[in-house]
Amino acid sequence: MMRAAVVRFPGSNCDMDALRAAERAGCRAYFVWHRDDDLQQADVVLLPGGFSYGDYLRSGAIARFSPIMQAVRRHAADGGPVLGICNGFQILCEAGLLPGALLPNAGLTFVSRPVPVRVENVATPFTTAYRKNELVHFPVAHGEGRFVAAPDTIEELEASDRVVLRYADGGNPNGSSADIAGICSSDGNVVGIMPHPERVADPAIGDDPGHKFFSSLAAWRAAAPDEPITTPA
Amino acid sequence: MNFRAHIRVMPRDGLLDPQGQAVENALTELAFDGVSSVRVGRAIEVGVAADSLEDAEDATRRMCERLLANPVTEDFLIEVDPA
Protein backbone atom coordinates (compact mmCIF):
# COMPACT_ATOMS: atom_id res chain seq x y z
CA MET A 1 0.00 0.00 0.00
CA MET A 2 1.35 3.42 -0.92
CA ARG A 3 2.05 5.83 1.90
CA ALA A 4 0.75 9.37 1.35
CA ALA A 5 1.94 12.18 3.63
CA VAL A 6 -0.35 15.22 3.78
CA VAL A 7 1.60 18.23 5.08
CA ARG A 8 -0.28 20.46 7.49
CA PHE A 9 0.78 24.10 7.79
CA PRO A 10 -0.85 26.60 10.14
CA GLY A 11 -3.68 27.79 7.90
CA SER A 12 -4.05 24.65 5.76
CA ASN A 13 -7.75 23.97 5.24
CA CYS A 14 -7.98 21.35 2.50
CA ASP A 15 -5.85 18.87 4.43
CA MET A 16 -8.72 16.58 5.42
CA ASP A 17 -10.11 16.54 1.87
CA ALA A 18 -6.69 15.59 0.51
CA LEU A 19 -6.29 12.85 3.12
CA ARG A 20 -9.71 11.38 2.33
CA ALA A 21 -9.13 11.53 -1.42
CA ALA A 22 -5.83 9.66 -1.03
CA GLU A 23 -7.45 7.08 1.27
CA ARG A 24 -10.30 6.52 -1.15
CA ALA A 25 -7.68 5.83 -3.85
CA GLY A 26 -6.19 3.09 -1.67
CA CYS A 27 -3.33 4.98 -0.04
CA ARG A 28 -2.37 4.74 3.60
CA ALA A 29 -2.64 8.50 4.22
CA TYR A 30 -1.50 10.43 7.29
CA PHE A 31 -0.73 13.99 8.35
CA VAL A 32 2.71 15.43 8.99
CA TRP A 33 3.14 18.75 10.79
CA HIS A 34 5.08 21.62 9.23
CA ARG A 35 7.53 21.60 12.18
CA ASP A 36 8.35 17.92 11.56
CA ASP A 37 11.41 17.07 9.53
CA ASP A 38 10.47 13.49 8.65
CA LEU A 39 7.98 12.34 6.02
CA GLN A 40 7.78 8.89 7.67
CA GLN A 41 8.72 6.87 4.57
CA ALA A 42 6.18 8.58 2.36
CA ASP A 43 5.83 7.33 -1.21
CA VAL A 44 3.89 10.45 -2.15
CA VAL A 45 3.61 13.93 -0.62
CA LEU A 46 0.50 16.10 -0.82
CA LEU A 47 0.70 19.85 -0.08
CA PRO A 48 -2.93 20.84 0.50
CA GLY A 49 -4.74 24.10 -0.12
CA GLY A 50 -5.38 26.80 2.42
CA PHE A 51 -3.71 29.97 3.62
CA SER A 52 -0.43 28.83 5.16
CA TYR A 53 0.94 31.42 7.60
CA GLY A 54 -2.01 33.64 6.72
CA ASP A 55 -0.55 34.20 3.22
CA TYR A 56 1.64 36.86 4.90
CA LEU A 57 4.09 38.63 2.57
CA ARG A 58 3.12 36.45 -0.43
CA SER A 59 1.18 33.17 -0.67
CA GLY A 60 3.54 30.33 0.19
CA ALA A 61 6.50 32.65 0.86
CA ILE A 62 6.89 31.72 4.53
CA ALA A 63 5.74 28.09 4.33
CA ARG A 64 8.64 27.21 2.09
CA PHE A 65 11.02 27.67 5.04
CA SER A 66 9.18 25.13 7.23
CA PRO A 67 11.41 22.29 8.46
CA ILE A 68 9.24 19.74 6.61
CA MET A 69 10.00 21.45 3.29
CA GLN A 70 13.62 20.26 3.50
CA ALA A 71 12.30 16.70 3.59
CA VAL A 72 9.90 17.46 0.72
CA ARG A 73 12.81 18.85 -1.28
CA ARG A 74 14.83 15.65 -0.75
CA HIS A 75 11.80 13.47 -1.60
CA ALA A 76 11.32 15.44 -4.84
CA ALA A 77 15.02 15.27 -5.70
CA ASP A 78 14.85 11.47 -5.32
CA GLY A 79 12.04 11.38 -7.87
CA GLY A 80 9.23 10.97 -5.35
CA PRO A 81 5.80 12.27 -6.41
CA VAL A 82 4.72 15.60 -4.91
CA LEU A 83 1.35 17.22 -5.58
CA GLY A 84 0.71 20.82 -4.52
CA ILE A 85 -2.88 21.93 -4.74
CA CYS A 86 -3.75 25.65 -4.70
CA ASN A 87 -1.73 27.00 -1.75
CA GLY A 88 0.45 23.90 -2.18
CA PHE A 89 1.19 25.02 -5.77
CA GLN A 90 2.07 28.50 -4.48
CA ILE A 91 4.46 26.95 -1.95
CA LEU A 92 6.15 24.79 -4.63
CA CYS A 93 6.74 27.90 -6.79
CA GLU A 94 8.07 29.93 -3.86
CA ALA A 95 10.34 27.00 -2.95
CA GLY A 96 11.73 26.92 -6.48
CA LEU A 97 10.54 23.33 -7.01
CA LEU A 98 8.36 24.62 -9.85
CA PRO A 99 9.02 27.67 -12.05
CA GLY A 100 6.93 30.83 -12.12
CA ALA A 101 4.76 32.52 -9.52
CA LEU A 102 1.09 32.95 -8.64
CA LEU A 103 -0.16 36.54 -8.42
CA PRO A 104 -3.47 38.12 -7.40
CA ASN A 105 -6.27 37.27 -9.83
CA ALA A 106 -6.58 39.69 -12.76
CA GLY A 107 -10.14 40.51 -11.64
CA LEU A 108 -8.96 41.13 -8.06
CA THR A 109 -11.81 39.05 -6.63
CA PHE A 110 -11.58 35.70 -4.89
CA VAL A 111 -12.95 33.14 -7.37
CA SER A 112 -14.76 30.07 -6.03
CA ARG A 113 -16.55 27.99 -8.64
CA PRO A 114 -16.14 24.91 -10.84
CA VAL A 115 -14.13 25.58 -14.00
CA PRO A 116 -13.52 23.45 -17.10
CA VAL A 117 -9.93 22.23 -17.42
CA ARG A 118 -8.13 19.90 -19.82
CA VAL A 119 -5.67 17.29 -18.61
CA GLU A 120 -2.88 17.80 -21.15
CA ASN A 121 -0.06 15.78 -19.63
CA VAL A 122 -1.12 12.25 -18.67
CA ALA A 123 2.38 10.97 -17.90
CA THR A 124 2.73 12.40 -14.38
CA PRO A 125 2.17 10.12 -11.34
CA PHE A 126 -1.12 11.95 -10.73
CA THR A 127 -2.62 11.93 -14.22
CA THR A 128 -1.95 8.53 -15.80
CA ALA A 129 -5.59 7.50 -15.31
CA TYR A 130 -6.88 10.38 -17.47
CA ARG A 131 -7.17 10.37 -21.26
CA LYS A 132 -4.96 12.96 -22.95
CA ASN A 133 -6.87 16.25 -23.23
CA GLU A 134 -9.73 14.86 -21.15
CA LEU A 135 -12.11 17.67 -20.17
CA VAL A 136 -13.06 17.76 -16.51
CA HIS A 137 -14.71 20.28 -14.20
CA PHE A 138 -12.76 21.02 -11.03
CA PRO A 139 -13.55 23.70 -8.44
CA VAL A 140 -11.16 26.60 -7.99
CA ALA A 141 -11.11 28.71 -4.82
CA HIS A 142 -8.36 31.31 -4.78
CA GLY A 143 -7.53 34.99 -4.72
CA GLU A 144 -3.99 34.55 -6.01
CA GLY A 145 -4.03 32.05 -8.85
CA ARG A 146 -2.71 34.02 -11.82
CA PHE A 147 0.23 32.00 -13.07
CA VAL A 148 3.04 34.11 -14.49
CA ALA A 149 6.54 33.27 -15.64
CA ALA A 150 9.15 34.75 -17.95
CA PRO A 151 8.19 34.29 -21.63
CA ASP A 152 11.03 31.83 -22.24
CA THR A 153 9.90 29.78 -19.22
CA ILE A 154 6.36 29.58 -20.62
CA GLU A 155 7.81 28.59 -23.99
CA GLU A 156 9.89 25.86 -22.36
CA LEU A 157 6.90 24.56 -20.36
CA GLU A 158 4.87 24.33 -23.57
CA ALA A 159 7.65 22.77 -25.62
CA SER A 160 8.41 20.09 -23.03
CA ASP A 161 4.75 19.18 -22.41
CA ARG A 162 4.89 20.39 -18.81
CA VAL A 163 1.46 22.04 -18.80
CA VAL A 164 -0.53 19.45 -16.86
CA LEU A 165 -3.85 21.30 -16.59
CA ARG A 166 -5.13 24.11 -18.79
CA TYR A 167 -8.30 26.15 -18.31
CA ALA A 168 -10.61 25.26 -21.22
CA ASP A 169 -13.53 26.77 -23.10
CA GLY A 170 -12.65 30.36 -22.17
CA GLY A 171 -12.91 29.47 -18.50
CA ASN A 172 -9.66 31.09 -17.32
CA PRO A 173 -10.78 32.47 -13.93
CA ASN A 174 -7.71 34.52 -13.00
CA GLY A 175 -5.82 35.75 -16.06
CA SER A 176 -3.13 33.04 -15.98
CA SER A 177 -0.58 33.15 -18.79
CA ALA A 178 -1.49 30.75 -21.61
CA ASP A 179 -4.53 29.61 -19.55
CA ILE A 180 -2.16 27.51 -17.45
CA ALA A 181 -3.88 25.86 -14.45
CA GLY A 182 -1.13 23.41 -13.49
CA ILE A 183 2.42 22.44 -14.39
CA CYS A 184 5.01 19.81 -13.54
CA SER A 185 8.76 19.67 -12.99
CA SER A 186 11.07 18.58 -15.80
CA ASP A 187 11.06 15.03 -14.41
CA GLY A 188 7.26 15.13 -14.07
CA ASN A 189 7.23 13.99 -10.44
CA VAL A 190 6.45 17.41 -8.92
CA VAL A 191 3.02 18.70 -9.93
CA GLY A 192 1.36 21.97 -8.94
CA ILE A 193 -2.23 22.86 -9.79
CA MET A 194 -4.64 25.62 -8.77
CA PRO A 195 -7.92 23.62 -9.18
CA HIS A 196 -9.04 21.25 -6.43
CA PRO A 197 -9.48 17.62 -7.59
CA GLU A 198 -9.68 16.50 -3.94
CA ARG A 199 -12.97 18.39 -3.57
CA VAL A 200 -14.58 16.31 -6.31
CA ALA A 201 -13.13 12.92 -5.45
CA ASP A 202 -16.09 11.24 -3.76
CA PRO A 203 -19.43 10.34 -5.40
CA ALA A 204 -21.12 11.06 -2.06
CA ILE A 205 -20.93 14.77 -2.91
CA GLY A 206 -21.81 14.36 -6.60
CA ASP A 207 -19.48 13.33 -9.39
CA ASP A 208 -15.86 12.36 -8.72
CA PRO A 209 -13.77 13.56 -11.70
CA GLY A 210 -10.92 14.38 -9.31
CA HIS A 211 -10.60 10.81 -8.02
CA LYS A 212 -8.26 9.84 -10.86
CA PHE A 213 -5.69 12.39 -9.64
CA PHE A 214 -5.17 10.01 -6.72
CA SER A 215 -6.00 6.64 -8.26
CA SER A 216 -3.38 7.36 -10.95
CA LEU A 217 -0.73 6.74 -8.29
CA ALA A 218 -1.35 2.99 -8.27
CA ALA A 219 -0.92 2.73 -12.04
CA TRP A 220 2.17 4.92 -11.89
CA ARG A 221 3.64 2.70 -9.19
CA ALA A 222 2.82 -0.47 -11.17
CA ALA A 223 4.57 0.99 -14.21
CA ALA A 224 7.74 1.68 -12.19
CA PRO A 225 8.45 -1.71 -10.57
CA ASP A 226 12.13 -0.94 -10.14
CA GLU A 227 11.32 1.81 -7.65
CA PRO A 228 11.70 0.64 -4.05
CA ILE A 229 8.32 0.14 -2.42
CA THR A 230 8.25 1.33 1.15
CA THR A 231 7.15 -1.17 3.74
CA PRO A 232 4.37 0.32 5.86
CA ALA A 233 5.57 1.05 9.37
CA MET B 1 25.79 50.07 14.87
CA ASN B 2 22.06 50.14 14.37
CA PHE B 3 20.48 50.93 11.05
CA ARG B 4 16.97 51.17 9.67
CA ALA B 5 16.42 49.63 6.26
CA HIS B 6 13.59 51.02 4.13
CA ILE B 7 12.63 48.53 1.44
CA ARG B 8 10.26 49.12 -1.44
CA VAL B 9 9.02 46.04 -3.30
CA MET B 10 7.24 46.76 -6.58
CA PRO B 11 5.58 44.54 -9.21
CA ARG B 12 7.95 44.22 -12.14
CA ASP B 13 7.33 46.58 -15.05
CA GLY B 14 5.26 44.99 -17.76
CA LEU B 15 3.44 42.63 -15.41
CA LEU B 16 -0.28 43.23 -15.06
CA ASP B 17 -0.91 44.98 -11.74
CA PRO B 18 -4.66 44.72 -11.15
CA GLN B 19 -4.43 46.60 -7.84
CA GLY B 20 -2.69 49.50 -9.52
CA GLN B 21 -5.34 49.51 -12.24
CA ALA B 22 -8.17 49.50 -9.71
CA VAL B 23 -6.60 52.41 -7.81
CA GLU B 24 -6.06 54.30 -11.05
CA ASN B 25 -9.71 53.84 -12.00
CA ALA B 26 -10.82 55.05 -8.58
CA LEU B 27 -8.59 58.14 -8.76
CA THR B 28 -9.95 58.95 -12.20
CA GLU B 29 -13.51 58.57 -10.91
CA LEU B 30 -12.64 61.02 -8.12
CA ALA B 31 -11.84 63.50 -10.91
CA PHE B 32 -8.08 63.57 -10.40
CA ASP B 33 -7.05 64.56 -13.89
CA GLY B 34 -3.89 63.35 -15.55
CA VAL B 35 -3.47 60.23 -13.40
CA SER B 36 -1.64 57.37 -15.12
CA SER B 37 0.56 54.30 -14.61
CA VAL B 38 -0.46 53.60 -11.00
CA ARG B 39 1.42 50.67 -9.45
CA VAL B 40 0.82 49.24 -5.99
CA GLY B 41 3.70 47.65 -4.13
CA ARG B 42 4.79 47.07 -0.57
CA ALA B 43 6.96 48.98 1.91
CA ILE B 44 8.93 47.07 4.56
CA GLU B 45 11.10 48.50 7.34
CA VAL B 46 13.73 46.41 9.09
CA GLY B 47 16.02 47.29 11.99
CA VAL B 48 19.51 45.99 11.18
CA ALA B 49 22.53 45.78 13.48
CA ALA B 50 25.75 45.76 11.45
CA ASP B 51 29.36 46.95 11.54
CA SER B 52 28.94 49.42 8.72
CA LEU B 53 26.41 50.96 6.37
CA GLU B 54 27.74 48.73 3.58
CA ASP B 55 27.23 45.60 5.69
CA ALA B 56 23.70 46.68 6.57
CA GLU B 57 22.92 47.30 2.88
CA ASP B 58 24.39 43.96 1.93
CA ALA B 59 22.36 42.13 4.59
CA THR B 60 19.19 43.91 3.45
CA ARG B 61 19.83 42.97 -0.16
CA ARG B 62 20.19 39.32 0.81
CA MET B 63 16.92 39.51 2.80
CA CYS B 64 15.19 40.82 -0.31
CA GLU B 65 16.65 38.14 -2.55
CA ARG B 66 15.80 35.30 -0.18
CA LEU B 67 12.42 36.32 1.19
CA LEU B 68 11.13 39.87 0.94
CA ALA B 69 10.78 40.03 -2.86
CA ASN B 70 9.86 37.34 -5.37
CA PRO B 71 12.62 37.34 -8.01
CA VAL B 72 10.14 36.14 -10.65
CA THR B 73 7.67 39.00 -10.35
CA GLU B 74 9.04 41.82 -8.20
CA ASP B 75 11.85 44.37 -8.06
CA PHE B 76 13.12 46.00 -4.88
CA LEU B 77 14.72 49.26 -3.84
CA ILE B 78 16.74 49.62 -0.64
CA GLU B 79 17.56 52.69 1.44
CA VAL B 80 19.49 52.23 4.68
CA ASP B 81 19.82 55.01 7.29
CA PRO B 82 21.56 55.12 10.67
CA ALA B 83 18.90 54.38 13.27
Q: Using CA atoms, how far apart are residues A121 and A127, in angstroms rounded to an integer?
A: 7
For each successive 10 residues of chain A (233 residues), what is the average pLDDT? 96 97 97 96 97 91 94 97 98 97 95 98 97 98 97 97 97 97 97 98 94 94 63 41
Q: How many alpha carbons lie under 13 Å from residue B19 in its C-beta half-sphere?
A: 10
User: Which residue from A minimizes the CA distance to B73?
Assistant: A101
Q: What is the largest CA-CA distance in chain B?
A: 50
> Would you give the DSSP letter of residue B42?
E
Q: How many CB pairs under 8 A join A and B?
A: 34
> Does the structure's ipTM exceed the value 0.90?
no
Q: By the 8 A CB rule, do A175 and A190 touch?
A: no
Show me where the domains of chain A are located.
Answer: 3-222
- A190 residue type, one letter: V
> Would you give the DSSP letter of residue A84?
E
Asked if the C-beta of B15 comes within 8 angstroms of chain A's C-beta atoms, the answer is yes
pLDDT in tens, B17-57: 999 999 999 999 999 999 999 999 999 999 999 999 999 99
What pLDDT does A171 receive?
A: 94
What pLDDT does A226 receive?
A: 56
- Please tell me the class of the A3-222 domain: alpha beta
* Element (DSSP H or E) covering residue B2: strand B2-11
DSSP string covering A176-194, please? Answer: -GGGEEEEE-TTS-EEEES
Show me where the domains of chain B are located.
Answer: 2-82
Give the three-state DSSP class for A39.
Answer: coil
β-strands B2-11, B42-49 pairing: antiparallel
| CB < 8 Å from B in window 136-155 of A | 146, 148-150
What pLDDT does A227 receive?
A: 54
Cβ contacts of A146 on chain B, cutoff 8 Å: 16
What pLDDT does A221 receive?
A: 86
| Residues of A with catalytic function | 86, 196, 198
Cβ contacts of B45 on chain A, cutoff 8 Å: none
Asked if the C-beta of A109 comes within 8 angstroms of chain B's C-beta atoms, the answer is no
Answer yes or no: CATH 3.30.1280.10 is held by domain B2-82: yes
* Mutate: best of B21, B66, B72, partner A, most A CBs <10 A: B72
What pLDDT does A151 receive?
A: 95
Q: For A160-196, give one letter per residue: b (16+ CB within 10 A) or e.
A: eebbbbbbbeebbbbbbbebbbbbbbeebbbbbbbbb
Contact A108 B15 (CB under 8 A): no
